[in-house]
Amino acid sequence: MGILSYAMSANYGRFYNDLKEISKTNKKPAWLMFMDAGMCSILYGAGLQDYLNFKFYEKKRKERKTYVTTGGEYRAYKIIASIEYAEFFSNKINFHKNFAKYAKRDYCSTDEGYEKFEEFVQKHPVFVRKPIIGLGGTDVTKVDISTIENKKEFFNELKKNGEFVEELVIQDEEWAKLSPNSINTLRIMTSEVNGKSKILFAAARIGSGKGIADNFHQGGKGVLVDLDTGKLVGNGIDKKLNESETSITGIKFDGFQIPYWEEIKKMVLEAALVNDKVNLIGWDVAISKNGPLVIESNRGPGWDLPQVVSKRGMKDVMDEVLKEAKENMKK
């Protein structure tokens, strides 16, 4: 009952307010779009955010059917991205152990003890503090150990909160021009079936300058990447679907060349083969002064960013991975 009342008071209330704002532009009654969203949930498995992100209020049935929705994603991921392997990817300590070749940076877990932490901060006096389990770049902060009065208390706080520390990534100068105060990343989606990996999609996520995380869900902008050339395509788009031609530093997105693009593709295609039990992975790739590295891996990545920046439904892409995986299971 508590969950239901929360959904009614918070989720639906906020959603209805968003529809009222949209109504001012498209002149459709908010209540009618609200009812339509309910039908989209039944027919396509679309969540409230799907309805907004993919502008279902503007689309006909034929186009709506081309989108990967929250419901469709959930059903497919039971087969191609089983939750059984979630800890392999989403636990960030496990990530560092499993993908050390691609993470390419130091880290320290509180399980290693205070002495190891002392060694880490001596080597890396400015570092990143992260939750071991977390999504969307939330609670990721940069820390200067010289500002910490009691390091032992700080260590105990990390332990209590389920956090760890990680070497700070110093960005490639060219890449940093788009937003120097955030760690700009690439979200690259790969598939792996029967020992063969391929890249399905890539987008740049450029920070808003408000924090170290670049994340699309925290004010950053997503920009489509041309898979062949490694150039950004079109405008940057934020979570509210606002578009802009330039980054916060005034650099035009369209045509911007991503450094080390061929090396990046080779890296994620190789990393995708590490765990052959998961057919679909989202890689968050940073570009450091020494070249590309993987920030984290995501089992069963979300399709909101891919479909928003591509401005099209990508159910055909996911269905192809699902088809290949099912055929491989029969062998």
Length of the chain measured in residues: 331
Q: Residue 97's pLDDT is what?
A: 97
Classified as helix, coil or strand, 136 is coil
Question: What mean pLDDT comes out for the span 257-270?
Answer: 98
Q: How far apart are CA 328 and CA 221, in angstroms?
A: 37
196-206 and 243-244 beta bridge pairing: unpaired
In this prediction, residues 220-244 reach a mean pLDDT of 95
* pLDDT (0 to 100) of residue 1: 35
Average pLDDT over residues 24-43: 96
Comparing 80-89, 187-196, 212-221, which segment has the lowest mean pLDDT?
A: 212-221
d(CA 189, CA 227): 11
- Specify the long-range contacts of residues 155-163, CB closer than 8 Å, at least 24 apart: 155/110, 155/114, 155/117, 158/110, 158/129, 159/110, 161/131, 162/131, 162/132, 162/133, 163/110, 163/129, 163/130, 163/131, 163/132, 163/139
Mean pLDDT across 62-66: 98
Choices 3.30.1490, 3.90.550, 3.60.21, 2.60.40: CATH for 106-167: 3.30.1490
Q: Which residue has the higher pLDDT, 279 or 216?
A: 279
Give the tens place of pLDDT for each residue, 7-17: 444 488 899 99
Confidence of residue 67 (pLDDT cuts 50, 70, 90): very high
Residue 300 banded pLDDT, cuts 50, 70, 90: confident
pTM comes to: 0.92
Closest CA to 196 of 82, 299, 107, 272: 272
- Rounded average pLDDT over 134-152: 86
How much is the mean pLDDT over the chain?
Answer: 92
Q: Which fold has domain 79-94+171-329?
A: D-amino Acid Aminotransferase; Chain A, domain 1 (3.30.470)
DSSP 8-state code for residue 210: S
pLDDT for 217 equals: 57
| DSSP summary character for residue 177 | T
Percent of the chain past pLDDT 90, that is, above it, reads 85
Q: Is the pLDDT of residue 220 over 90?
A: no
Spatial strand order of the sheet with 163-167 comes to 107-109, 163-167, 126-131, 141-144
Pair 209, 177: CB distance under 8 Å: no
Say whether pLDDT at 137 is over 80.
Answer: no
pLDDT exceeds 60 at position 6: no
Q: How confident is the model at residue 297 (pLDDT cuts 50, 70, 90)?
A: very high
- Asked if residue 175 has pLDDT above 60, the reply is yes
